[in-house]
A = this chain, B = another copy of it.
Amino acid sequence: MRGIIKERLFTPGPTPLLMEAQARTLTATLHHRTEAFRQLMRETLENLRYFFNTHNDVLIFTSSGTGAMEGAVANLLSPGDRVLVGTAGKFGERWVELAKVYGIEAVTVEAPYGHPLDVGEIRTRLESDGPFRAVFVQATETSTAVAHDVEAIGAVVRKYPETCLVVDAITGLGTTDLRPEEWGLDIMVGGSQKAFMIPPGLAFASVSAKAWKLIEKSKLPRYYFDFAKERKSLAKGEASYTPATTLVVSLHEALKYIRQIGRENLIANASMLAEATRAAARALGLRLFAVSSPASAVTAICAPEGMDSGLIVKEVRARFGAIVANGQGSMKGKIFRLAHLGYYDAADLFAVVAALEIVLLKLGQKVELGSGVRAAQEIYLQRCA
């Protein structure tokens, strides 16, 4: 019997859509050069600052998150500048590629896949190998499911008045406590298809006063991702170029929902789901890929010895419609990843863990049915008394 199978996204972006925000776009016949849109934009910007936990400017671009990452490079730096990049996975490596494209020398501090960046090494590099115009890191490295200690990195970088800290918080936002002013996160980048609960297409960047000073003096070419120009436009409630109007409408609606839930609760929700997922994996005898500093955005689970993780991904989808992510690059076939960022709840997790148990059993593993779910339930009970 093959009955009903609903599709369920468990990937770290795109993530499940908030239907109320989707529905709102259906009646949005806005033109972007009208007062109605400006009003919507101003409210959206205010709620974005709430979500970013900052009074810094937050810019919006119609692009993927990578666009705002490129913007951070192109707006902060000048030819001849050197940067320090912390890499611990695919997205860390993206900072290196971006620097290279703009002819910027990138010195790297590398952590093995599955491990967080060594803050001491970043400190040493800054002391012995500078000056660096900027330090680029991830808040959470999605490819390995690791959280970096951006608070500690911020404390190191803020001692250098001519060095900005740029944080790719694309999956960190809404899953991790982030404090741009307090911790000195000068530029923080986000993307709409993550904890924002809306489709891909918008990128965000918060920019500190310290970063604006560097931006004024920087000489790399930029046009579409010109931060200063965008700040001027947004001050009028406008975008420099035609924005993805329906996505802005979705965002406006989703941010209202997020304010209602509360930023701290959204983060605690992801953290609870991540902890419950780790407990479930351990109960099922599965190894976690990120042990010392796991992210709350996504959990990377190692396939059982000798099994291709792609098999699990395939079977969970075929049997239960659950779309989980394989590993990327060299981790493909070795891990699979379950996301917790955005519109996920405890019942979603119970369902996918029960599904995973069945799939592992069908793939020949020894599984005590219900034991992973029980471990997840126990974490739920500890966290949601």
Contacts and interface: CB of A to CB of B under 8 A. Distances in A.
Nearest to A367: B377
A355 interface: yes
Contact of A1 (B265, B348, B371): B265
A231 interface: no
Contacts of A376: 354
A81 to B, nearest CB: 42
Given A3-B265, A268-B3, A269-B4, A358 B381 contact: yes
Contacts of A383: 1
A9 to B, nearest CB: 13
Given A320-B347, A381-B358, A1 B352 contact: no
Given A3-B269, A265-B1, A384-B2, A350 B321 contact: no
Given A3-B269, A374-B370, A350 B350 contact: yes
Interface stretch (A93-101, A135-143, A287-295, A338-346): A338-346
A350 B345 contact: no
Contact of A351 (B2, B347, B361): B347
A368 B380 CA distance: 15
Given A369-B373, A369-B374, A369-B377, A355 B347 contact: yes
B361 A3 contact: no
A253 B321 CA distance: 21
A190 to B, nearest CB: 18
A139 to B, nearest CB: 20
A372 B377 CA distance: 12
Contacts of A321: 345, 347
Given A345-B5, A369-B374, A370-B373, A381 B352 contact: no
Interface string A110-150: 00000000000000000000000000000000000000000
A357 interface: yes
A8 interface: yes
Contact of A347 (B265, B322, B345, B361): B322
Contacts of A4: 261, 266, 269, 343-345
A377 B374 CA distance: 13
Copies of this chain present: 2
Contacts of A320: 345-347
Contacts of A380: 358
A262 to B, nearest CB: 9
Nearest to A350: B354
A3 B347 contact: no
Nearest to A345: B4
Contacts of A354: 347, 350-351, 354, 373, 376-377
B266 A3 contact: yes
23 contacts: A1-B272, A3-B268, A4-B261, A4-B266, A8-B347, A19-B19, A319-B346, A319-B384, A320-B346, A321-B345, A346-B355, A347-B351, A347-B355, A348-B351, A350-B350, A350-B373, A361-B381, A368-B374, A369-B373, A369-B377, A370-B373, A370-B374, A373-B373
Given A1-B268, A4-B266, A369-B374, 19 more contacts: A1-B269, A1-B384, A3-B261, A3-B268, A3-B346, A4-B345, A6-B343, A8-B347, A26-B26, A321-B345, A347-B352, A350-B355, A351-B351, A357-B377, A358-B377, A358-B380, A368-B374, A369-B373, A373-B373
